[in-house]
Amino acid sequence: VMEKELFRLLRAKWEKKFDSFIWERVEVVCGDISDENYLLGIKNSNLRDQMFKDVDFIVNCAATTDFFERYDVALATNTIGILNLLSFAKKCIKLKKLLHLSTAYVSGERDGIVPEKAFEFGETLKKTFTKLDFEIEHELATHKLSQLRENEASEATINATMREFGIERANHFGWPNTYVFTKAMGEMCLEQFKEDVYTVILRPTMILSTYKEPFPGWIEGLRTIDIIIASIGKGKMSFFLGKPTLIVDLIPADMVVNAMILGMVFGENGMIYHVGSSIKNPIYVSQAYDYVYNYFTENPLFDHKEEKPIIVTKVKLFQHIFTLNIYIAIRFLLPLKILQLVANIPFLRCYKDVYAKNMKKLQTVMRFIQKFKHFALFNGIFEDTNSERLREELIKGSGNLEIMEAFNFDPNSIDWEDYIINTHIPGLIKYKRALINSFLITRVELASSRLHATHRWNIPSTLHHPLLILTLLLLNLHLQRGATTPLVDIPQLATALIQMLAVVLDLIFFLKPSVHLLPHVHSAVVQVLSLSPAFLFGT
């Protein structure tokens, strides 16, 4: 950890004394918050006893943040882990405060103003016949895992089943994914079983790179919005789910750290603190996309394979998952279905790899949309009255402008355009270029140059479905009659059909016809996708 770029300023300041400066203040203890046999997995009893005597503050950042983690794994860390931590905390005789880092999105898919309010024990986000009980959830997950192992399921099957089970349980109680569900249960456990332990909960929103400290732009890993930024910059994202008028709640990492420090000093027992920007300094989805587009237009990434700058396009935003699904079905699934049918012709089976490759890309995109749709359509605004009180305490307790600046976490001080264009994206490129280069979200485009559409035909949208069926039927009859030479160049036909569908899509979504057309479009897509190769080609 100490070798990371994050510590370069300290390293430069202390030079050869850096190691001693750190290790005189830091002692690393290996542990495991999910270990139920030993307190936090610390097996050395002498070390445990020493910690019970010396520890005065506990800051819990331990979590698995995978939205769709295996249910047993997420429960063990994000929920049961809190009980293990409390058992340890209750033995620390000098403990002043336990600060727990949660997430603002434990609120689920709530609209409007989200209060800084603790959950009631067993609370759910939608009506159910039973209250939420973390012990029952733990038993269900354990039983499910035991069944899978008794049936000698493969590790891949176990992983997939336990992930699906987590989503199922989260959705049952009203949460969109396993991560926020198990974090919410962790908060409930903290408040229910803390007894005399003084607790503070911080709920940050979407965390970005550092704003100022220790220097601007440092980032660890790719966050939700960073994956979208990277995909746009690489020219791999032309559409996504989102409403331009919604607020996207962002906060730089160093402001979250400052809020944690102030929470340790001034935080009140049992209090919830939202750390975000949606109330005081909102940034809208349309603005965020414009800033990203403007940056990569002025500072394009370089495609080393093609040896040319990557040209970015403005992202088309779809406000409903239904319209996005229609777009994907017509623009990508239907051309891929045609390509699959073409690849089934004996002398054109070379296109099977092209189909498989692009279908895999499309499935990756769909998984990504599914994963982040909750954030893309989130319509809540996070109250920060309690956090404002922390800022006021800093002003009263300090009076020193330098200290106030050092521990600032006021989102009002952020110029979003300047920060995103001049700090966050350059930092993302500098510190995470390898991740950006390896990132898998890719635009679905047909790899063969013969199938790549460069020109659009002006064909009326009302003809696309009959024309497609007629063309394929004629081809079917020709092949069934035993002709050895095709009437048309098959790749050329596929190109024409793809171009035609692109025009249809433009007509549907950019000339904005009346809404009653959408069910007909959906019906046409379903009909075409339901046609089998046997019907079309007699094979």
Q: Which residues are catalytic?
A: 179, 183
| Backbone torsions φ then ψ of 279, nearest 5 degrees | -80, -50
Cβ atoms of 200 and 100 closer than 8 Å: yes
Task: Give exposure, 265-299, as e/b (b: 16+ Cβ within 10 Å).
Answer: ebbeeebbbbbbbbbebbbebebbbbbbbebbeee
Determine if the peptide bond prior to 176 is cis (ω within 30°). no
Long-range contacts of 389-394 (CB under 8 A, 24+ apart): 389/266, 390/259, 390/262, 390/263, 390/266, 390/267, 390/273, 391/262, 393/262, 393/265, 393/266, 394/262, 394/266
Query: Of 306, 301, 248, which is closest to residue 426 (Cα–Cα)?
Result: 301
Q: Tell me the β-bridge partners of 316.
A: 239
Cβ atoms of 9 and 214 closer than 8 Å: yes
Which residue shows structure tokens 């237009």? 297
Which residue shows structure tokens 């039973």? 130
Dihedral angle of Cα 361, 367, 368, 372, to the nearest 10 degrees: 170
Cβ atoms of 66 and 159 closer than 8 Å: no
Half-sphere exposure of 300 (CA within 13 A, CB side): 13
CA–CA dist 285, 524 (Å, integer): 32
Which DSSP state fits 176?
Answer: S
Dihedral angle of Cα 497, 501, 504, 509, to the nearest 10 degrees: -170
DSSP-derived 3-state class of residue 57: strand
The residues near 327 (Cβ < 8 Å, ≥ 6 apart) are 239, 316, 318, 505, 509
CA–CA dist 161, 143 (Å, integer): 13
The residues near 211 (Cβ < 8 Å, ≥ 6 apart) are 252, 253, 254, 255, 414, 419, 423
CA pseudo-torsion sign 428, 433, 435, 440: positive
The residues near 218 (Cβ < 8 Å, ≥ 6 apart) are 5, 6, 209, 210, 253, 427, 431
Which residue shows structure tokens 């007909």? 520
Query: Of 294, 288, 296, 291, which is closest to residue 244 (Cα–Cα)?
Result: 288
CA–CA dist 160, 510 (Å, integer): 39
Cβ atoms of 271 and 201 closer than 8 Å: yes
